[in-house]
């Protein structure tokens, strides 16, 4: 963590960490503008930009029409013309209309113009379930964008990482998709260093050291995996937990170093399994560290259904729990 | 509808000098030569693809004359050869794109006709229609945000693109924020094979301006002077804080969509021949002759000169190297970069 000018720290939840970081970015650089649905007078549906419009004005805090493709597209044009836009998609589920602007345009501006044009753009969006969000307020979208060269994708779990990674994303010269897990917004609190600092994209964090199993996760499930791993400690089960923090680029070194030590790998994510982030991690480890493995790689992921239903049993069935994660960990250690 | 009846009698020139009128005509002749060259090179097997703008010459040469170089931004689409020439791209740059050479602005990455040049104020665009319009609106927002009066974004598209959702989203946002943005629709009546009647129930696109609460107008895109006047009026208003406009120029697409298209599968030879009789290039030539702005010898010399320039540009561009295979891997992100951080 590159701490530049820190004097102490402040306890925040993830909403407050996003808000404080955006506020700092708006203060520090008048090229920065925020645009999205209800980010102005309403201050965002989670109140992340509450009162920003009063302080920074409606030219910099732009309540857009309900039109996701052009929220991103207009931000792309602003970025090409010298601003540093931060676009918000109100819920990740609503990002689909802007798919082309992200994949076909933002990710390709630098490449297709041979470096003449660039697209320094942050797209923030709340994602994930466990909040009774039903089919259109609970999806995970990372795998849809993970495949796309030209994009970077960040999915922090802790408030301190939210701040450092959001600062790094805002500074980044290329488009970054910044994913904020809704369930962690107010659930997760932590110390956030004061002052400006960045955390480089593509650096994982080993949250808990262990010797018998490597667990790789990101977002909400990092917290549950950590809870599960700690619950096994008294039984003498030693699990290492890695929070990826960035999904693209991804920290290969952290994963391989851990697998070399534990010889077993469990990947845990909320997004569905088929073609998910875990598939790529599995393939990478199989290609590069197969003979370090003492057990088949396992993925504990969301089921391959379109989304979690609104009814509580349907949501609970979709989501993994710390207990399920602990069971999977125990089984793998026994293997 | 487009008409050949261009300004008989005393010429209404909307402030255009003789020199500017000749420059417009030269641009039109150059477009013909370069369009023709792209198709020739394709038929010779030298390039895999070409796409022409024949029928759009007057519209584009006239519109480009209203573009303020060094200040305005152009967000064009792929049938805008004349506009790109008119804002400063050279035939050599066009041929580099056709030949996909390393020295091309895009490094030989993009299809021909997908020009971009930051120096010329020409925004990079893809083949995905209307996707460039939010970019144009975002650029216009940046201009207004920085308080840069005297600048505006000229965005173009064909009639087909006006069916896209992002076309509407862009018009709407530009109108809400009164941005320095001019939407110029080049209505050539065909979206590859789909005629206007299958694209929209109400065929006068400019009338949609009323729905956005902004000025709209329609002009004969076969007449470069009328085009210039309409584009200049809209751009001047946009540059001085008067907000966006939707302007529609009528024209016709004489060629197939591209070298890979056979337009005789969806329209008749008779239709194309009939519209050829209104060809804007000889029509404007007649105007220049009639008003003594050029004589026959001058026109012949200009024609030869544009052919010479096209030939020289062809030879020079063809002689340039392709990008090296290693260029495939550059400019994905800033700096060298892999999805796996190690």
Pull the structure tokens for residue B100. Answer: 């996909």
Contacts of B342 in chain A (CB under 8 A): 252-253
Pairing mode, strands B194-195 and B190-191: antiparallel
CB < 8 Å to B128, chain A: 100, 104-105
Compute the average pLDDT of residues B132-147: 98
pLDDT of residue B339: 81
The pLDDT of A300-328, averaged and rounded, is: 97
Confidence of residue B264 (pLDDT cuts 50, 70, 90): very high
Q: Which DSSP symbol is given to A50?
A: T
Calpha distance B103→B202 (Å, rounded)? 44
What is the nearest CA distance from A103 to chain B, expressed in angstroms? Answer: 11
Please indicate if any CB of chain A lies within 8 Å of the CB of B124.
yes
Confidence of residue B336 (pLDDT cuts 50, 70, 90): confident
Of B139, B176, B338, the CB nearest to A65: B176
As a whole number, mean pLDDT of residues B145-150 equals: 96
8-state DSSP, A9: E
**Residue B5 lies inside a defined structural domain of this protein:** no
pLDDT digits (tens, 9 = 90+) for B90-106: 999 999 999 999 999 99
The mean pLDDT value of chain A amounts to: 97
3-state DSSP percent of chain A in helix, strand and coil, to 5? 40, 20, 35
CA end-to-end span of chain A: 36
Span A271-300, average pLDDT: 98
Over residues A177-197, mean pLDDT: 97
Closest CA to A268 of A199, A323, A310: A323
Answer whether A127's CB lies under 8 Å from A179's CB. Answer: yes
- How many whole angstroms separate alpha carbon A194 and alpha carbon B239? 44
- Read off the pLDDT of residues A59-113 as tens digits, 9 standing for 90 and up: 999 999 999 999 999 999 999 999 999 999 999 999 999 999 999 999 999 999 9
- B339–A78 C-beta distance less than 8 A: no
Question: Which distant-in-sequence residues (6+ apart) come within 8 Å of A144 by Cβ?
Answer: A99
Give the model confidence (pLDDT) of A16-48 as tens digits. Answer: 999 999 999 999 999 999 999 999 999 999 999
> What is the domain-level CATH number for residue B257?
3.40.50.970
Instruction: Quote the pLDDT of residue B269.
Output: 96
- Is residue A155 classed as helix, strand or coil in its secondary structure? coil
Q: Is B81 helix (H, G, I), strand (E, B) or coil?
A: helix
Q: Cis omega (within 30 of 0) on the bond before A249?
A: yes
pLDDT band at A7 (very low <50, low <70, confident <90, very high): confident
Domains of chain A with bracketed CATH: 2-198 (3.40.50.970), 205-334 (3.40.50.920)
- Smallest CA–CA distance, residue B133 to chain A, in Å, is 8
Is residue B51 classed as helix, strand or coil in its secondary structure?
Answer: coil
Flag whether B93 is in a domain: yes
B266 is catalytic: yes
- Cα separation, B98 vs A104, in Å, equals 22
The radius of gyration computed from the CA coordinates of chain A, to the nearest angstrom, equals 20
DSSP 8-class letter at A31: T
pLDDT tens for each residue of A119-171: 999 999 999 999 999 999 999 999 999 999 999 999 999 999 999 999 999 99
pLDDT of residue B9: 56
Q: How many domains does chain B have?
A: 1
ipTM over 0.85: yes
Q: Which of A57, A75, A86, A114 to mutate to test the interface with B (most CBs of B within 10 A)?
A: A114
Q: Is A117 on the interface with B (CB under 8 A)?
A: yes
Contact with chain B for residue A240, Cβ under 8 A: no
Q: What is the pLDDT of residue B223?
A: 98
Name the band, by pLDDT with cuts 50, 70 and 90, for residue B338: confident
Q: Is B5 helix (H, G, I), strand (E, B) or coil?
A: coil
Contact at CB, B110 and A109, closer than 8 angstroms: no
pLDDT over threshold 80, residue B5: no
Answer whether residue B10 is part of any domain.
no
Provide the β-strand partners of residue B157: B185
Asked whether the predicted pLDDT for residue A1 surpasses 70, the reply is: no
* Residue B260, domain member (yes or no): yes
Q: Give pLDDT tens digits for B70-88.
A: 999 999 999 999 999 999 9
Looking at residue B196, its pLDDT comes to 96
- C-alpha dihedral (B20, B22, B26, B32), degrees to nearest 10: 110
pLDDT band at B1 (very low <50, low <70, confident <90, very high): very low
Minimum Cα–Cα distance from B128: chain A residue: A104
> With an 8 Å Cβ cutoff, are B341 and A246 in contact?
yes
pLDDT at position B337, please?
77
Q: Is B257 helix (H, G, I), strand (E, B) or coil?
A: coil
Please give the residue range of the domain that contains residue B207.
18-319
Residue B27, domain member (yes or no): yes
Please report the pLDDT score of residue A199 as a whole number.
Answer: 98
Distance from CA of A201 to the nearest CA of B (A): 9
**Structure confidence at residue A2 (pLDDT):** 44
Average pLDDT for B127-154: 97
Question: How many angstroms separate the Cα of A169 from the Cα of each of A151, A157, A164, B342?
Answer: 11, 15, 9, 19
Contact B331 A81 (CB under 8 A): no
What average pLDDT does the segment B43-50 reach?
96
Nearest to B210, CA basis, from B252, B253, B167, B175: B175
| pLDDT (0 to 100) of residue A3 | 47
Strands (E), chain A: 2-3, 9-13, 32-36, 61-63, 84-88, 122-127, 152-154, 176-181, 189-193, 197-198, 205-208, 213-217, 239-243, 246-248, 250-251, 265-272, 298-302
How far the first Cα of chain B sits from its last, in Å, is 62
Residue B332 lies in a domain: no
Tell whether B246 is covered by a domain. yes
CB contact under 8 A, B110 and A110: no
Domain assignment of residue B46, yes or no: yes
pLDDT of residue A6: 55
Closest CA to B14 of B158, B224, B209: B224
Answer yes or no: B253 catalytic: yes
Q: What are phi and psi of B191, to 5 degrees?
A: -110, 90
The label of the residue with tokens 């030590």 reads A261
Nearest residue, CB atoms, B334 vs list A85, A174, A248:
A174
| pLDDT value, residue B7 | 46
């Amino acid at each position: 963590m590159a701490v530049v000018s820190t004097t102490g720290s402040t306890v925040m939840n993830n909403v407050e960490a996003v808000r404080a970081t955006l506020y700092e970015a708006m203060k520090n650089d008048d090229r920065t503008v925020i645009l999205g649905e209800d980010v102005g007078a309403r201050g965002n549906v989670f109140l992340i930009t509450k009162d920003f419009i009063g302080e920074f004005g409606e030219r910099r805090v732009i309540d857009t029409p309900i039109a996701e493709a052009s929220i991103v597209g207009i931000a792309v044009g602003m970025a090409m013309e010298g601003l540093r836009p931060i676009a918000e998609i109100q819920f990740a589920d609503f990002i689909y209309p802007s798919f082309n602007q992200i994949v076909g345009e933002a990710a390709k501006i630098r490449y297709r113009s041979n470096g003449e044009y660039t697209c320094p753009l942050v797209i923030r969006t709340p994602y994930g379930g466990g909040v009774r969000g039903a089919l259109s307020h609970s999806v995970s979208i990372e795998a849809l964008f993970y495949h796309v060269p030209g994009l970077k994708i960040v999915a922090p779990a802790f408030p301190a990482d939210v701040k450092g990674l959001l600062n790094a994303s805002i500074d980044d010269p290329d488009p970054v998709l910044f994913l904020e897990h809704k369930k962690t917004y107010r659930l997760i609190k932590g110390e956030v260093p004061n002052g400006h600092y960045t955390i480089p994209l593509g650096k994982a964090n080993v949250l808990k050291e262990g010797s018998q199993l490597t667990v790789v996760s990101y977002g909400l499930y990092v917290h549950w995996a950590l809870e599960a791993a700690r619950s096994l400690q008294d039984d003498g089960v030693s699990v290492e937990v890695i929070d990826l923090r960035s999904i693209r680029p991804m920290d290969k070194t952290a994963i391989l170093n851990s697998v070399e030590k534990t010889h077993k790998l469990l990947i845990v994510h909320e997004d569905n399994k088929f073609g998910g982030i875990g598939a790529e991690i599995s393939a990478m480890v199989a290609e590069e560290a197969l003979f370090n493995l003492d057990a088949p790689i396992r993925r504990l992921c969301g089921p391959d259904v379109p989304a979690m239903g609104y009814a509580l049993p349907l949501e609970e069935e979709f989501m993994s729990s710390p207990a399920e994660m602990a069971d999977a960990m125990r089984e793998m250690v026994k293997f | 509808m487009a008409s050949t009846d261009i300004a008989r009698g005393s010429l209404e020139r909307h402030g255009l000098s003789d020199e500017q009128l000749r420059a417009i005509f030269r641009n039109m002749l150059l477009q013909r030569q370069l369009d023709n060259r792209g198709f020739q090179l394709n038929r010779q097997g030298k390039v895999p693809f070409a796409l022409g703008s024949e029928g759009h010459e007057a519209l584009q040469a006239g519109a480009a004359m209203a573009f303020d170089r060094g200040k305005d931004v152009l967000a064009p689409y792929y049938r805008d050869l004349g506009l790109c020439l008119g804002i400063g791209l050279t035939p050599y740059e066009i041929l580099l794109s056709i030949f996909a050479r390393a020295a091309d602005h895009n490094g030989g990455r993009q299809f021909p006709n997908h020009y971009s040049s930051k120096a010329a104020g020409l925004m990079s665009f893809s083949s995905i229609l209307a996707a460039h319009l939010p970019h144009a609106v975002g650029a216009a927002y940046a201009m207004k945000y920085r308080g840069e009066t005297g600048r505006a974004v000229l965005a173009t598209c064909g009639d087909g693109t006006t069916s896209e959702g992002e076309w509407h989203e862009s018009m709407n946002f530009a109108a809400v924020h009164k941005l320095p943005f001019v939407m110029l629709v080049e209505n050539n009546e065909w979206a590859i094979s789909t005629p206007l009647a299958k694209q929209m129930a109400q065929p006068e696109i400019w009338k949609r301006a009323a729905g956005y609460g902004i000025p709209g107008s329609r002009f004969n895109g076969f007449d470069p002077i009328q085009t210039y006047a309409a584009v200049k009026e809209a751009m001047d208003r946009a540059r001085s804080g008067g907000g966006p406009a939707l302007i529609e120029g009528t024209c016709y697409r004489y060629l197939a969509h591209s070298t890979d298209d056979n337009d005789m599968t969806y329209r008749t030879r008779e239709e194309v021949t009939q519209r050829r009789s209104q060809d804007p290039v000889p029509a404007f030539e007649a105007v220049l002759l009639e008003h003594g702005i050029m004589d026959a010898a001058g026109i012949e010399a200009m024609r030869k000169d544009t052919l010479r320039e096209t030939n020289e540009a062809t030879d020079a561009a063809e002689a340039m190297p392709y990008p090296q295979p290693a260029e495939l891997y550059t400019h994905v992100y800033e700096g060298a970069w892999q999805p796996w951080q190690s």
